[in-house]
C-alpha cells in the first residue's frame, strides 16, 4: 500500500483497473479539496503492476475531533480476487483508525448478482463492515455496451425510441457540443429542472467548478439540444478510461413534444463511441425494479435505449467507533433533511413570480 501524489501516475493506474470510475480520478479528488475535503490516493501493487486503488476523501465531522472518510465509487479492484480485497480493506481500516475517523464508507461498483459480489459481501461482513444506511451515490445503474456499430445500437433500442430520435431530427431539433462558455446556460437549465421536478441542487459556483474543471481537462462534454436557436435541454457526459457516464441532464418545460432528450442521448452515445468508450453508464436506477419507485420513469427512459440494469452491492461502512457510528446514523439523516428543507424554502423565495412551488 503506497501513496501516489502525481496525477499522470494515478490516472494511468486507475484506468487500468476493472470497473474504473471517474469519481476515482485525480481530478475528482482535486475538485473535492476545494470544498473542504482532503484527498489521499492509495495504490496496492504486485511488483510494478497495480492491483487495487482507492481515492480516499476525509473531512472533519462538524466541530468534533473526528473525521468522516469516504472512498467514492471505490475501492477499485478485481472483484474475483478476494485475497486482494482483504488487503485493501485491512489498509482502509488502518487508515480510518490513523485518521481518527468515526467511520469509513466505500461503494465499489461490484455486481450484486454474481459469485464475486457474494464473496465481496461475505468478506465485508466477516471484517465487521455494515451495509450503509446512507447511499451517497446511486447504488444501481443501467449500462449500454458500445462495442456494436451504430446500426446495431439503434436496432437494440425500443421502436418508440428509434422513432422519437428520428422525429426530433425531422422537426428541426439540433444538438451542439457545448463548452466552458455554456456553463451559465447549463446551470439555468439544471436549476429550472430542479424546481420543476423537486430535487435539491447546489450553488452555481459548485457546478461551475465541478463541470468546468472536467470540461477543461477534456473529461466532460456538454451537449445542448436547440430548436430555432432556443435551448431546450442539455446533458453532461463524463469520460474516463473506456467508460462514459451520463451524470447530469436538464430540460425546459416547453417543446417537450419535439423529443429533444431522445436526440441528445443518441448524439451523446455516438460521441462516446467515437471517443473509444466501450461502456455508456446511464448513472442511476431504482433500488428495486418496482413501479412504485420514484426512479421508475427514469429507469424506463434509460432502458428504452437498450441499456441493461446492473445491481451493485451498495455502500458499506466500517465503524471505527461502533457507538459513535450508531449515534451518527440516527442524527445525520435528520440534519440532512433540515438542510434540504432550508434549501427548498430558499429556492421558493428566489423563484420568479408564478414559478414558486407549492
CB 150 within 8 A of CB 167: no
Choose among 337, 315, 335: nearest CA to 62.
Answer: 335
**DSSP H helical segments within 275-321, as ranges?**
296-303
- pLDDT 10s digits, 266-291: 999 999 999 999 999 999 999 999 99
- pLDDT 10s digits, 20-52: 999 999 999 999 999 999 999 999 999 889 999
CA pair distance 303, 283, nearest whole angstrom: 12
Q: What percentage of the chain's residues is helix, strand, coil (to nearest 5)?
A: 45, 25, 30
CA pair distance 316, 327, nearest whole angstrom: 17
Cα angle at 245 between 150 and 131, to 5 degrees?
130
- Write the DSSP symbol of residue 321: S
Residue 66 pLDDT: 84
Residue 325's pLDDT band, with cuts at 50, 70 and 90, is low
Q: Does the model's pTM come out above 0.85?
A: yes
- pLDDT 10s digits, 251-260: 999 999 999 9
Q: What integer is the mean pLDDT of 215-235?
A: 97
Question: In percent, how much of the chain has pLDDT > 90?
Answer: 80
- pLDDT 10s digits, 109-165: 999 999 999 999 999 999 999 999 889 999 999 999 999 999 999 999 999 999 999
Residue 333 pLDDT: 59
- Quickly list DSSP for 19-61: T--GGGSHHHHHHHHTTT-EEEEEEEEETTEEEEEEEEEEEE-
Maximum CA extent, the chain: 64
Question: In percent, how much of the chain has pLDDT > 70?
Answer: 89
Given a cut of 60, whether residue 344 has pLDDT beyond it is no
Residue 356 pLDDT: 33
Residue 25 pLDDT: 98
Residue 327's pLDDT band, with cuts at 50, 70 and 90, is low
Residue 334 pLDDT: 60
Given a cut of 70, whether residue 319 has pLDDT beyond it is yes
Q: Which domains does the chain have, with CATH numbers?
A: 2-138+313-320 (3.40.630.30), 141-283 (3.40.630.30)
Residue 351 pLDDT: 46
Given a cut of 70, whether residue 332 has pLDDT beyond it is no
Residue 353 pLDDT: 37
Residue 63 pLDDT: 74
- pLDDT 10s digits, 85-114: 999 999 999 999 999 998 999 999 999 999
CB proximity list for 24: less than 8 A, separation 6 or greater: 14, 53, 54, 55, 72, 73, 74, 76
Radius of gyration (C-alpha) of the chain in whole angstroms: 21
CB 17 within 8 A of CB 53: yes
User: Bridge partners of 308?
Assistant: 143
Amino acid at each position: 500500500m503506497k501513496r501516489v501524489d502525481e496525477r499522470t501516475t494515478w490516472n494511468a493506474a486507475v484506468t487500468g483497473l476493472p470497473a474504473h470510475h471517474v469519481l476515482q480520478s485525480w481530478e475528482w479528488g482535486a475538485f473535492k479539496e476545494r470544498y473542504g475535503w482532503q484527498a489521499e490516493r492509495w495504490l496496492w501493487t504486485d511488483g510494478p503492476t497495480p492491483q487495487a486503488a482507492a481515492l480516499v476523501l476525509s473531512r472533519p465531522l462538524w466541530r468534533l475531533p473526528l473525521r468522516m472518510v469516504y472512498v467514492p465509487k471505490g475501492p477499485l479492484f478485481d472483484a474475483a480476487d478476494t485475497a486482494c480485497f482483504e488487503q485493501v480493506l485491512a489498509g482502509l481500516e488502518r487508515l480510518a483508525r490513523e485518521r481518527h475517523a468515526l467511520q469509513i464508507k466505500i461503494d465499489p461498483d461490484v455486481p450484486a448478482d454474481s459469485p464475486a459480489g457474494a464473496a465481496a459481501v461475505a468478506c465485508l461482513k466477516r471484517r465487521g463492515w455494515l451495509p450503509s444506511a446512507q447511499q451517497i451515490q446511486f447504488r444501481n445503474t443501467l449500462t449500454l455496451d458500445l462495442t456494436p456499430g451504430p446500426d446495431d445500437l439503434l436496432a437494440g433500442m425500443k421502436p418508440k425510441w428509434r422513432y422519437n430520435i428520428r422525429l426530433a431530427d425531422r422537426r428541426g431539433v439540433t444538438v451542439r457540443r457545448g463548452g466552458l462558455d455554456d456553463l451559465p446556460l447549463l446551470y439555468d437549465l439544471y436549476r429550472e429542472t430542479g424546481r420543476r421536478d423537486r430535487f435539491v441542487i447546489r450553488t452555481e459556483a459548485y457546478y461551475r467548478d465541478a463541470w468546468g474543471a472536467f470540461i477543461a481537462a477534456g473529461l466532460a462534454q456538454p451537449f445542448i439540444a436547440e430548436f430555432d436557436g432556443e435551448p431546450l435541454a442539455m446533458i453532461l457526459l463524463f469520460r474516463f478510461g473506456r467508460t462514459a457516464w451520463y451524470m447530469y441532464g436538464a430540460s425546459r418545460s416547453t417543446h417537450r413534444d419535439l423529443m429533444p432528450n431522445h436526440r441528445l442521448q443518441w448524439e451523446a452515445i455516438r460521441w462516446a463511441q467515437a471517443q473509444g468508450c466501450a461502456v455508456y453508464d446511464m448513472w442511476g436506477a431504482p433500488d428495486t425494479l418496482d413501479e412504485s419507485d420514484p426512479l421508475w420513469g427514469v429507469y424506463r427512459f434509460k432502458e428504452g435505449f437498450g441499456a441493461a440494469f446492473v445491481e451493485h452491492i451498495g455502500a458499506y461502512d466500517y465503524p471505527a467507533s461502533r457507538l459513535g457510528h450508531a449515534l451518527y446514523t440516527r442524527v445525520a439523516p435528520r440534519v440532512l433533511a433540515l438542510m434540504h428543507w432550508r434549501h427548498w424554502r430558499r429556492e421558493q423565495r428566489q423563484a420568479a413570480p408564478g414559478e414558486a412551488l407549492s
